[in-house]
Structure 1
Amino acid sequence: MEGIRSGSERFRQFILNNRFVMFLLVLLLIGLNIMVFNRIAFIFVPLVVLVKTVLLPIILTGVVYYLTNPLVDWLEHHKIKRTYSIITLFLLIIAIVVFLLRSVIPLIGNQVMSLVDNFPTYAVQVQGMLDENVDSSVLKQLQEWLKFNVADLLQQASDQAANLLQNAWAAIGAVLGKLTEIVLAIATVPFILFYLLRDGKRLPTYILRFLPTRLRGSSLEIMTEMNHQISSYIRGQVIVSFCIGGLLYIGYLVIGLEYSLVLAIIAACTAVVPYLGPAIAITPALIVAVVNSPIMLLKMIAVWTVVQLIEGKFISPQIMGKSLSIHPITIIFVILTAGNLFGIFGIILAVPGYAVLKVMVMHLFRWFERRSGLYELKK
């Protein structure tokens, strides 16, 4: 009996009371769970299909919700019932959409079609200007060093375009299917948005009812912080993008750059991707400007530099502030990784997704810090 008791005490001393051993056991259990779930992955296929079906409408509705909820709150604060405030907001959105469809969209469409038609010609002209103004030996050495040839790149692009046209009919079914999915997702947004604007404040309380009583306080804190991170980023980034697009449009009109509206819209859309967006947006503007004239290129660079200085020194610090507290290098790596994993949606959602994940990991680490006793707790 004493031997059994002493063996139990040794087991407790060297296994249960040994934090490192317990940590290894936890890792082993996690690995076993991953292996088991990997073996029975087919069970989760319906769940994966459900998530893929509702993910796009939820994301679109969430973005619109964070942009419109402050206006509904403001109307409600001025003694207008929330339901009437939402209806007023919907009428305002319908009026804006009708105005865009009748006035702005046709102009954008004409400029886009003209730019698409002329872009191959612009590429050939840029190649000709390089051949004329750059020493052929220097250009050849540069191409050999970088292991590329502009003419080959243009030829490859032309071949790819021809292949795409040849395979267009084969892929038209998939394109129509994807387009139908996007249209249905957009069509469901107003219905989800109405109920989310009306009952969104009750959602955290409803979710907390499914959690144990001990976890409700910390869970509410996590959800509140996550909501603050997402709302600050979405609202701030959209406002910054509109400011950049507006300033560039005014600047392009002043210098007389062709396709000013389309180029400004491209810059505004790509500005939602921090740091990498401006580098992508400046490329078509550079090509259009350099084909026009060297003076236009200098003017365009001057406009772009001034807008970036205004955005970096005045607009972003005032609107975005330091709400995310994420280092720029971290943001770039997160965007590149998310882009490789999830494509264009990964690039757009990389930063807010990382912010949400950071909140969850930080709270989990604080909980582990308190429970493990391995760290000196801050007073």
Structure 2
Amino acid sequence: MQIPEIKPDRFKKLFLDNKFVLFLLTLLLIGLNIFVLNKIPFVFKPFIVLVKTVILPLILTGVVYYLLNPIVDLLEKRKMKRVYSIITLYILIIAVVTLLILAVIPVINVQVMELVKNFPTYSQQVQLNFESWIGGSLFNQIQQTTGFNSTDWNNTITERLSSFISLAGASIGSFLGVVTETLLAIAVVPFILFYLLKEGHRLPNFILEFLPPSFRSQTYEVMSEMNHQISSYIRGQIIVSFCIGFLLYIGYLIIGLKYSLILAIIAAFTSIVPYLGPVIAITPALIVAAVTSPVMLLKMIVIWTIVQLIEGKFISPQIMGKSLKIHPITIIFVILTAGNLFGLTGIILAVPGYAVLKVIVSHIYHWFRKRSGFYNTFQ
């Protein structure tokens, strides 16, 4: 008598023995647990408070770490002990900061106060200049055609400024709270930075010890690529922004533009955001130049165009290169989306965050393609 062959269970074959299906089921269970626990406030609230407390010091420390770590590595290669290298670098930074406070901050303070004091009259001055440039009759015709009333517009601006000042006065407590948190974060940075510069090179191996041996090589590759992407972007973008600010300051001094130092500093800081930063930075310079004279406005546009050409053709290709390999359109959409989700912090961290996410997703995709075997039939 022939014993009938027992066929394997189709459910077990299709689901239980399928690693991809088990992976999806695991993700589903993790998501359900997070969703349920999120409905209980006291479960995630301490974690959220912890993240909000440490995120700013960690971000600031990370930025300074990527700027200073190559210098410490270079000094260590020159036979100087790492601790002594860090202490020497700290002394140099304290000297530079002291020099800036004594020499540069007073000039910035004078220009900022003067700019704030004169800003309410700029709207009316720009209107008068514009009317004189195009002629009074043509300006009146434009007003009649468009329904634009300069008096009502000035009154509206005054009302908006008054409302803004009242709102600022009402929320002065929250503003002071933000300033206090920022100052505390900055005060903590040197202590975290010291230990990160001293022991940071051991951190990858420390993390790998918690992983199974089979995952360590690929995880180390992912961390190395993430580190390269972040370091290249932070160092490159800050150097490029500094060069833009320096060149604009020289150009503004040559043409005699008022508030040249503060306008160049604004341009340097806003240039940290790719593509969108220069558009924001040129606005105050345009207003100041337009108030001064049409010739000054033309000179300012020429200086800005020259600096942007130098930055786009010479500085960025040499410093940034093609390390991120992200299309400009993608960068713009990423910045806009991150800004809507997370505000100013999202705008600043959008590009490096996207670069890190791209590295992780790319490695997961290649790992899935290699393990699944779905693509072998097409090769």
Matched with 2:212 is: 212
Matched with 2:129 is: 129
Cα pair 2:37 2:44 within 8 Å, conserved: no
Matched with 2:202 is: 202
Cα pair 1:369 1:377 within 8 Å, conserved: no
CA 1:140 to 1:66, structure 2 compared with 1: closer, same or farther past 3 Å?
farther
TM-score w.r.t. the length of structure 1 is: 0.90
Give deviations 1:241-269, integer Å, cap 9, x for gaps. 11101110111111111111111111101
Matched with 1:241 is: 241
Matched with 1:367 is: 367
Give deviations 1:144-188, integer Å, cap 9, x for gaps. 7xxx87766654443232123324443222112111111110000
1:71-150 equivalence runs, <5 A: 71-132=71-132, 133=134, 135-138=139-142, 141=145, 143=146
CA 1:207 to 1:179, structure 2 compared with 1: closer, same or farther past 3 Å?
same
* Cα RMSD (Å): 2.7
Structure-2 separation of matches of 1:216 and 1:249:
49
Q: Cα distance, 1:3 vs. partner?
A: 11
Cα pair 1:66 1:235 within 8 Å, conserved: yes
Matched with 1:280 is: 280
The code of the aligned residue for 1:302 comes to V
Which secondary structure state, in structure 2, belongs to the residue aligned with residue 272 of structure 1? coil
The code of the aligned residue for 1:343 comes to G
CA 1:55 to 1:18, structure 2 compared with 1: closer, same or farther past 3 Å?
closer
Matched with 1:39 is: 39
Matched with 1:346 is: 346
TM-score w.r.t. the length of structure 2 is: 0.90
Moved more, 288-297 or 170-179: 170-179
Q: Cα distance, 1:18 vs. partner?
A: 7.9
Q: Cα distance, 1:202 vs. partner?
A: 0.4
Moved more, 314-323 or 67-76: 67-76
Cα pair 1:127 1:151 within 8 Å, conserved: no
CA 1:70 to 1:106, structure 2 compared with 1: closer, same or farther past 3 Å?
same
CA 1:92 to 1:173, structure 2 compared with 1: closer, same or farther past 3 Å?
same
Matched with 2:51 is: 51
Give deviations 1:210-245, integer Å, cap 9, x for gaps. 111111111111111111001000000010011101
Residue 171 (1) aligns with residue 177 (2): no
CA 1:363 to 1:138, structure 2 compared with 1: closer, same or farther past 3 Å?
same
Percent of aligned pairs with the same amino acid: 64
Q: Which runs of 5+ in 1 are unaligned?
A: none
Matched with 2:261 is: 261
CA 1:240 to 1:151, structure 2 compared with 1: closer, same or farther past 3 Å?
farther
Structure-2 separation of matches of 1:190 and 1:20:
45
Q: Which runs of 5+ in 2 are unaligned?
A: none
The code of the aligned residue for 2:160 comes to Q
Q: Cα distance, 1:20 vs. partner?
A: 9.4
Cα pair 2:20 2:372 within 8 Å, conserved: no
Give deviations 1:56-110, integer Å, cap 9, x for gaps. 0000000011111111111111111111110000000100111011000000010
Which secondary structure state, in structure 2, belongs to the residue aligned with residue 257 of structure 1? coil
